[in-house]
A and B are shown apart, each in its own frame.
Chain A
């Protein structure tokens, strides 16, 4: 008997038992269930929740691999920089080296394992307690979490944060699809407020910078935004920032790969292009307002806001976590706005507020996660007013419409009058 049949038979055995949801989750993850629906009308479609989640994960895999590579690359680059060794580019010498990948994998893979292990354990636990099916929501969250934390985050902190995020951020609201806040960002926010020394500053963004601090081998782990917040110069070129060869959270650095992932999600119709476009527009508007303020010399060079405000508006898009947040976080269909017009407003405000937080909070110059969480809270309100506005407009149209008496009119005009 094949594994598939064994599982089908086992399912019958487990039916009605307490562990059934946990078993069914594994079963349907591996194979299509062998049961068919019997009553009611159904839409047959291939894109169920699992397929949707897997598509997002596919879009995240390149980012993850780049994150693994970049972890190693930044570590060795920072060591060279600290020792004043000029770094000549050499493809096999210091770029695509086994060391880079190996160091990255040793650091990143445990984070992925902890994220999935803790999160899925809680999901299974709650499914068994509540007696409902295990929901697939955590598949994406579990992949997002490792990508938005600094590489040296202690694993026990991550485990606590994941437990908090999944229970308080999602399960208390009723599980996948009912949560108000994006669970991955809830985890990020918890880590940030609970353990700020591990989530900000100039050490945590490059592997080992924390351990080596204060020793003769000390290396820098400052991000581009960190330099800007202190009005300092940095040595990264625009192409470094675009391709992602800069320090930062594990998966946030490569704008190119995030852009490709975003296009993939838009063309597979998983993520909303409206949110992405409007968020980019919002970020640019805010950034150019700041640029304008600097051009008008309202902001002096000694001001602590000068560094971030004077950064060319479009460069904001390729540093920090803005691109990652817009593509993978803001577009979460559960926590974002649902109406098309609402998506424009929601996305625009995310971009707008992100850049505002960047400039006005130099102590921690990355506000994307806060902006998205804030707009998550407001998304239902935005939708409410969009729907009310729509109702009002249609009522007005109905009032002004002339409805012709049926007997004298042709079929076509009758239809027209009905579909005001």
Chain B
């Protein structure tokens, strides 16, 4: 890591695994349940959050010394809202179908607890470069889980990946469907995301015992 010092690198890498916003801090669950039925939506959501959190963290960090602490939440909301509107408009312009799938959840990035959490916990107390790395790292950690969940839900629930029929055609009974295999309708409904996230948390904690809290 020539570009980054060790400390800077850990800002990006920690949230990917041992300090993951979804599986360890259990934030941002709402959107993880809602939009992960398809891999494509998960990827777009992940990119959107990377953009919003990366830019937002820098903006807040730059303004951190002039924001009166009494109204800082309002200022943060204005910043997130601006960025989210940009994302929303870009999606509507260039990927209209997808923006319909994501529907209200793009707008709801504003209320994603990860974003406000990073503003409060990190950007308000650190310089722009570190805040940028932290924002990117946390958003990637969030996006990674979204993509894993989306991968399994789309593969098992619809038999497709990014819309490609990787398991064969369920109507014409080709590929795996010829053997009598059927899509698992349970994976389409939002509770399945909760169970997949739960399994990821389980696997993560059984690999790293330090993550298990004392009762």
A residues touching B (Cβ–Cβ < 8 Å)?
Answer: 154, 156-157, 160, 168, 172, 190, 193-198
Contacts and interface: CB of A to CB of B under 8 A. Distances in A.
Contact of B185 (A156, A160, A168, A195): A195
B189 A193 contact: yes
B180 interface: yes
Nearest to B189: A193
A168 B184 CA distance: 16
B97 interface: no
Contacts of B129: none
Nearest to A168: B195
Contacts of A157: 182
A198 B184 CA distance: 11
B202 A194 contact: no
B182 A195 contact: yes
A154 B180 CA distance: 9
B200 to A, nearest CB: 13
23 contacts: A154-B180, A156-B180, A156-B181, A157-B182, A160-B184, A168-B195, A168-B198, A172-B198, A172-B202, A190-B186, A193-B185, A193-B186, A193-B189, A194-B184, A194-B185, A194-B186, A194-B187, A195-B182, A195-B184, A195-B185, A196-B185, A197-B182, A198-B182
Interface in B143-184: 180-182, 184
Contacts of B186: 190, 193-194
A193 B187 CA distance: 9
Given A157-B182, A190-B186, A193-B186, 14 more contacts: A154-B180, A156-B180, A156-B181, A160-B184, A172-B202, A193-B185, A193-B189, A194-B184, A194-B186, A194-B187, A195-B182, A195-B185, A197-B182, A198-B182
Nearest to B206: A129
A195 B188 CA distance: 11
Max chain B C-beta neighbours (<10 A), residue from A160, A190, A193: A193
Interface residues of B, number: 11
Contacts of A196: 185
A193 B186 CA distance: 5
A168 B181 CA distance: 22
Give the 10 A-B residue pairs with the shortest CB-CB distance, closest first. Answer: A194-B186, A193-B186, A194-B184, A194-B185, A196-B185, A195-B182, A193-B185, A154-B180, A168-B195, A190-B186
A172 B198 CA distance: 10
A160 B198 CA distance: 18
A194 B182 CA distance: 9
A198 B180 CA distance: 12
Max chain A C-beta neighbours (<10 A), residue from B181, B186, B195, B202: B186
A197 to B, nearest CB: 8
A327 B61 CA distance: 63
Contacts of B187: 194
Contacts of A190: 186
Contacts of A195: 182, 184-185
A157 B181 CA distance: 9
A297 B17 CA distance: 62
A23 B182 CA distance: 37
A195 B185 CA distance: 6
A195 B184 CA distance: 6
Contacts of B198: 168, 172
A172 B189 CA distance: 21
B134 to A, nearest CB: 32
A252 B202 CA distance: 36
Nearest to A167: B199
A194 B189 CA distance: 9
Contacts of B182: 157, 195, 197-198
B3 to A, nearest CB: 42
Contacts of A194: 184-187
Nearest to B186: A194
Contacts of A168: 195, 198
Contacts of B195: 168
A195 B181 CA distance: 11
A198 B181 CA distance: 12
Nearest to B199: A168
Max chain A C-beta neighbours (<10 A), residue from B180, B184, B187: B184
Contacts of B180: 154, 156
Contacts of B185: 193-196
Nearest to A196: B185
A190 B185 CA distance: 9
Contacts of A154: 180
A172 to B, nearest CB: 7
A193 B182 CA distance: 13
A160 B187 CA distance: 13
A190 B198 CA distance: 16
Interface in B11-58: none
Nearest to A195: B182
A247 B20 CA distance: 51
A361 to B, nearest CB: 16
A187 to B, nearest CB: 12
Contacts of B181: 156
Interface in B97-111: none
Nearest to B182: A195
Contacts of B202: 172
A181 to B, nearest CB: 13
B215 to A, nearest CB: 12
B78 to A, nearest CB: 41
